[in-house]
Amino acid sequence: MPNIRSAAKRARQDEHRRERNRRYRSAARTAVKRARTLIEESDPGAGEAVRTAAVALDRAAQRGAIHANNAARRKSRLMLQYSKAVAA
């Protein structure tokens, strides 16, 4: 436990932000996993799932839960996988 008041406040803020970031990261991961599953199953709803995953990744990046380049890379790979599945 911190002895300095400002350090104690910083610890409280860090904990609060960690929980918030965790929510956005988890939502993005879940959306990507669902999209990948639907793509592999050739489900007609895969396109909508890919769009939802892209939005979740953008939101996580906007909030600072993940880096913007990380979100862009994941979206790119997901779109590539979807494009290949549609073409096949």
Q: What is the pLDDT of residues 26-78, one digit of tens each?
A: 999 999 999 999 999 999 999 999 999 999 999 999 999 999 999 999 999 99
Number of domains in the chain: 1
What is the predicted pLDDT for the residue at 1? 78
**The two structure tokens encoding residue 82:** 């979807």
Half-sphere exposure of 14 (CA within 13 A, CB side): 6
Instruction: Compute the half-sphere exposure of residue 1: CA atoms within 13 Å on the CB side of its CA.
Output: 1
Q: How far apart are CA 24 and CA 66, in angstroms?
A: 9
42: left (phi over 0), alpha (psi -120 to 50) or beta: left
Q: What pLDDT is attached to residue 88?
A: 84
> Does residue 7 surpass a pLDDT of 90?
yes
CATH number of domain containing 28:
1.20.58.110
What's the pTM? 0.87
What is the domain extent for residue 75?
A: 5-87
Structure letter (DSSP) for residue 88? -
> Is it the case that residue 84 has pLDDT exceeding 90?
yes
Question: Does 18 score more than 90 pLDDT?
Answer: yes
Contacts of 50 (CB under 8 A, 6+ apart): 35, 39, 78, 79, 82
